Amino acid sequence: MSVRNVLTWLEDAAASAPDAAAFDMPGCAMTWRETAAEAQRIGSFLAARLAARTPVLLLMEKSPACVCAMLGVAYAGCFYTPLDSSMPEARMRLIGETLRPGAILCEEKFASAAYRIADGAAVYQIEGISGEADPERLAERRRGHVDTDLLYVLFTSGSTGVPKGVSIAHRSVVDFVEWACGALRLPEGCRFGSQAPFYFDNSVLDIYCAMRMRGSLHLIPKADFMFPARLVKRLKEERIDTVFWVPSALTAVANAGVLQGGVLPDLRRVFFCGEVMPCRTLNLWRTALPEADYVNMYGPTEITDVCAWYRVDREFADADALPIGFPCENTRIDLIDGEICVTGTCLSPGYYNAPEKTAAAFVRNPMRPQIPEWMYRTGDLAAYNERGELMFLGRRDSQIKRSGYRIELGEIECALQSAQGVDSGCCVYDGERERIVCVWTGGADEKTLKRQLKERVPKYMLPDVWLRWDELPATGSGKIDRVKVKRIYEHSQH
């Protein structure tokens, strides 16, 4: 029988591996039986108070309890939106105004903030939710479920300053996870080491692939990523065999010199997504863990995490660019004027409560005018290499024009990140002064870096401003925060 609801995997895991570890972190661990029982209890509580298909905000730290809350919302036939507890309350209110949630589930320590942003929504502290599971009520909600019902809405930044809520249905997650577990060769009982926050779409693969394979997900403390030696020690002690991280996190570990042959004997699968992976970083990892499986993945939140993938199957020089490869199963990618346009079950039905934004990004396929087939315009540029692999070229909106040349900042960044003495770096454009600004961390000085980039990019693409910083600001998901980099730079010019 086909899976129509992600809860099927949870119930299968609870039945076949009830006492196996499910979700854990230092000081807290839950089995599959405990996770299912708690999710059903929360779901019964919510189903008695909310109509099906009602949005629910989650204001909780990343924890096993938060996973139970997510799954509890799904049991109630509703859909969840995790909030970043550290984000400004003004942004929380913007999200709330778009979502109009029926309830906010929060931890006690965030209760006052939850009430301030509630705007009519009921606020329930997770510690105070009482009552037992109600199987009849849950069964009733399940009977009314269809696989196009939403599972979650994740908010991404919007160009107008108003966050966009990306809606994703159960069927899209089911399709994605079934593909991922097979294509990525995940074994029964695999153990993930989680880096992604729950409000970031990379966490979808972590949570639901672990569930599908009756594996476990160790929630690595955020502070560990600031201390690479401690991070590697945790990976070893927890016997992590699979990671799916943003390249910045992998680069920090590689540059810290803590990767030695045999240091991580259990780590067999290293997956990455979310930004360009420097081949220099990849090569450092492959030298330390030559037997591991390395997979580069690409995809925006609007297509359920990943729509293209490339299993590393050959050697790359440090200065090379890594392919994003080929479309995932049941996904089609068309390049229209160089832009990646995606069609398939993976697509979001649109931005929540934002029809104009939806209409701009989710469009009728111009190559199939006979029927209303929808495609998502990613705004990302790509081209095929001589092997037929997709190569990511950067954002359309990071494309600038100078002296008659069209320049992709992503191409300069690729050269920058592969340079010797650079730990991490990015480029932003100062449109007012028509300058390309290069910012990096690491031991390379300006003169050395200029010389290296001259060997890798045309003269007209060389940055005008060179800034070495002690550290680069990061987003909550661990990627370089280019918006903040540009803001800091612009502030320094006034």
pLDDT tier at 163 (50, 70, 90 boundaries)? confident
- What is the per-residue pLDDT for 418? 87
- Beta-strand ranges (E) seen in 75-134 are 79-82, 103-106, 122-125
* Bridge partners (DSSP) listed for residue 384: 390
At residue 458, does pLDDT exceed 90?
Answer: no
Q: Report the candidate in 228, 237, 244 with the shortest Cα–Cα distance to residue 192.
A: 244
Q: What angle do CA 381, 387, 388 make, to 5 degrees?
A: 45
Residues 238 and 108 in one domain: no
In a domain, 195, yes or no: no
Domain boundary among 114, 141, 156: 156
Q: What angle do CA 395, 277, 459 make, to 5 degrees?
A: 60
Average pLDDT over residues 226-254: 96
Q: Mean pLDDT highest for which of 173-177, 198-202, 455-459? A: 173-177
In a domain, 64, yes or no: yes
Residues 370 and 422 in one domain: no
At residue 484, does pLDDT exceed 80?
Answer: yes
Q: Which domain holds residue 389?
A: 220-395
Which residue blocks in 48-134 are alpha helix, DSSP H?
64-75, 89-99, 111-117
Residues 130 and 11 in one domain: yes
- What is the per-residue pLDDT for 161? 55
Q: What is the CATH number of the domain that holds 248?
A: 3.40.50.12780
At residue 158, does pLDDT exceed 70?
Answer: no
Per-residue pLDDT of 386-426, as tens digits, reads 999 999 998 887 778 777 777 888 889 988 988 999 999 99
Per-residue pLDDT of 286-304, as tens digits, reads 999 999 999 999 999 999 9
- pLDDT top residue among 172 and 494: 172
Total domains in the fold of the chain? 3
- For residues 380 and 276, the answer to whether their CB atoms sit within 8 Å is no
Q: What DSSP designation does 471 have?
A: -
Q: Report the candidate in 13, 5, 113, 1 with the shortest Cα–Cα distance to residue 52.
A: 5
Residues 288 and 231 in one domain: yes
Per-residue pLDDT of 64-102, as tens digits, reads 999 999 999 999 999 999 999 988 898 899 999 999 999
- What is the per-residue pLDDT for 262? 85
Single-letter residue type at 375 = M
Q: What is the CATH number of the domain that holds 470?
A: 3.30.300.30
Q: What DSSP designation does 67 have?
A: H
In a domain, 15, yes or no: yes
φ and ψ of 249, to 5 deg: -70, -40
Which residue blocks in 226-351 are alpha helix, DSSP H?
228-237, 247-255, 279-288
In a domain, 80, yes or no: yes
Average pLDDT over residues 442-447: 95
Tokens of 248: 């910045």
- What is the per-residue pLDDT for 475? 87
Residues 383 and 407 in one domain: no
pLDDT tier at 2 (50, 70, 90 boundaries)? confident
* Bridge partners (DSSP) listed for residue 123: 104
- For residues 133 and 44, the answer to whether their CB atoms sit within 8 Å is yes
In a domain, 429, yes or no: yes
Average pLDDT over residues 139-165: 88
- Among 229-243, 307-321, 348-362, 392-406, the least confident range: 392-406
Residues 461 and 489 in one domain: yes
Domain boundary among 362, 395, 428: 395
Average pLDDT over residues 342-352: 97
- What is the per-residue pLDDT for 288? 96
Residues 357 and 431 in one domain: no
* Bridge partners (DSSP) listed for residue 56: 80, 103
- pLDDT top residue among 454 and 20: 20
- What is the per-residue pLDDT for 86? 87
The pTM for the full model equals 0.90
CB atoms within 10 A of CB 167: 22
- What is the per-residue pLDDT for 196? 94
